[in-house]
Amino acid sequence: MGLSTPSTAERKPRSVIPVKNGRKKPRVAFVTSNGAGMGHLTRLLGIARAVKDELEIVFVSLSQASPVVEKFGFPFVYIASSSEAGLSAKDWNAYARQRFGEEFAWIEPDAVLFDGTWIYGGLREALNESGIPLIWSRRGMWKEHIPDRSLANSRFTAGVIEPGECAAEFDHGATTRVADAIKVNPITIVSRNELMDKESARSYLGLREGENAVLVTLGAGNLNSLDETLSHVVAALQSEAPGWKIFLTSNPIAGGREAFEGVESLDYYPVVNLANGFDAVVSASGYNSYHEWIMAGVPALWIPNLETQADDQRARAVFADRTGIGVCVEEPTAESVSAAIKRLVDPNEQRAMRSALEAASSENGAYRAAQELTQMFEKECEA
């Protein structure tokens, strides 16, 4: 665990961030990386929902899915990522420096909360030029080969908040070698008590009395090709769980995907709100999905996306299998998926998983993160 190992960076004393005159609440720009996914955006949305009474929030995001924050009442502006802009890293950083700089000049945030693994050079320069303090929301579970160098950025921040990991025991990445962060419980976009109740969720899903339902949500389809895995999963569910209704998420940013017979498409954000309507889920093991389904207590088959740049989804999936809170398939073939689905829908296995999930669930870390964030600012704002 990070706190018990030798560290190359130590947590700095908390600095107090001044708030601009005339403001009733500190204004914070929530900046996220992404582009292809919405993991960073969803995590910050969890914090934003928890802190919205204390801070004034505006999202400045590189995620194509950023309009979703408007549904939660937050303003946003989008900045194209380097791959979307089609610019070289050097040109994009110059572009990003100008884009962030312009928005910050108009928005005048008291601070920026950034969620991402790498703090972009362009963002850092824009912050340096405007003198705006940076707070880093930096989750752990980096793949082992990701160099520690990026961690040096914490020295330029006013604070680091580390969203917790249920599978922290299996984290061998760079962030375990530093003790520079305020660690909070796993952060989820909603808390358990906010989920739609079972009857309403089942009614929304159109389920008949006694009918079982499973959700298949394998993440952003544009990170790697998922069609083959999806075919294995659907075939295995149809064969091992006859009579179960199968739902497939239409990811907000993934393009069209081959339709499967007898499978319903579900476009709902955040889909975990419907968790009480499902008997099982088949999911990629990205940070948000993983902690959301554990929080909701739904038995899951985890199929890690191994093509992510930095996130060690494999470690989370294996941890779930070893500790009985889920089932894991690392290499999805027709045979391995079929065997895993058989376990997932088995009533005895389901009972054991639900019981292990109850023990694993924790209070939503978004609230503690919100509290820590709020405490970073001057106490006195204009009434």
Partner 1 sequence: MRTSAQRFIVEPNDSLGQSVVEGLGTLPQQLGGSTKRFAPGRGADGNGANRQSIGFWVVDASPEVREQAYSYVYASSVLNQKIRPMIFTSSNDLKAIRRFGWLVEHVLSRESFERLSDGEWNEYLSSRLEGALSSLDLKAVVFVGKNGITPYLHKQVSLITKTSSPLSALT
Minimum Å gap between C-beta 186 and partner 1 is 28
Q: What's the closest the beta carbon of residue 87 comes to partner 1, in angstroms?
A: 6
**Nearest alpha carbon to residue 183 among 159, 204, 205:** 159
Adjacent-strand bridge partners of 111: 28
Which residue number, 98 or 203, has a Cβ lying nearer to partner 1? 98
Are 341 and 216 in contact by the 8 Å Cβ rule? The answer is: no
In angstroms, give the least distance from the CB of 208 to partner 1.
33
| Residue bearing tokens 């009985």 | 324
102 binding partner 1? (CB under 8 A)? yes
CB of 56 to partner 1, least distance (A): 8
The smaller minimum CB distance to partner 1, of residues 131 and 255, is found at 255
381 lies in the binding site for partner 1 (CB under 8 A): no
Query: Whose Cβ is closer to partner 1: residue 31's or residue 317's?
Result: 31
Output b/e per residue, 219-237; b: 16+ Cβ within 10 A. bbbebeebeebbebbbebb
Site for partner 1 in 120-159 (CB under 8 A): none
Q: Are strands 111-115 and 134-137 parallel, antiparallel or unpaired?
A: parallel
How many Å apart are CA 65 and CA 336, to the nearest integer? 33
Question: What is the CA angle 256-258-261, rounded to 5?
Answer: 135
Q: At what angle do helices 39-51 and 365-375 cross, to 10 degrees?
A: 70
Least Å distance, CB 100 to partner 1, is 11
Query: What residues numbered 24-53 form the site for partner 1, per CB under 8 A?
Result: 27
Give me the least distance between CB of 269 and partner 1, in Å please: 13
**Is 9 near partner 1 (CB under 8 A)?**
no
Can you name the residues that pair with 134 across neighbouring β-strands? 112
Strands 263-266 and 245-249: parallel
DSSP labels, 332-349: --HHHHHHHHHHHH-HHH
From candidates 58, 234, 301, 345, binder to partner 1 by CB under 8 A = 58
Which of these, 251, 248, 258, lies nearest to 228 by C-alpha position?
Answer: 258
**107 to 126, contacts with partner 1 by CB under 8 A?**
107-108
Enumerate residues 206-235 that contact partner 1 by CB under 8 A. Answer: none
Q: Going residue by residue from 62 to 101, which x/- string records binding to partner 1, judged by CB under 8 A?
A: --xxxx--x----xxxxxx---xxxx---x--xx--xx--
Least distance (Å) from partner 1 to the CB of residue 107?
Answer: 5
Of positions 207, 253, 263, 352, contacts partner 1 by CB under 8 A: 253
Are 233 and 341 in contact, with CB atoms under 8 Å apart?
A: yes
Measured from the CB atom, the residue of 91 and 194 that comes closer to partner 1 is 91
Compare residues 84 and 346 and give the one whose CB is closer to partner 1: 84
Other CB atoms closer than 10 Å to residue 198's CB: what's the count?
A: 12
C-alpha closest to that of 309 among 333, 286, 328, 293: 286
Nearest residue (CB) to partner 1, 194 versus 382? 382
Name 57's bridge partners: 28
> Minimum distance between the CB of residue 379 and partner 1, rounded to whole angstroms?
23
Q: How far is CA 45 from the centre of its chain?
A: 9
Phi and psi torsions of 28, nearest 5°: -125, 130
> Which residues make beta-bridge pairs with 90?
none
From 252, 263, 268, 362, residue interacting with partner 1 (rule: CB under 8 A): 252
Residues 166-205 that bind partner 1 (CB under 8 A): none
Residue 267 interacts with partner 1 (CB under 8 A): yes or no: no
Residues within the interface to partner 1 (CB under 8 A): 27, 58, 64-67, 70, 75-80, 84-87, 91, 94-95, 98-99, 102-103, 105-108, 252-253, 255
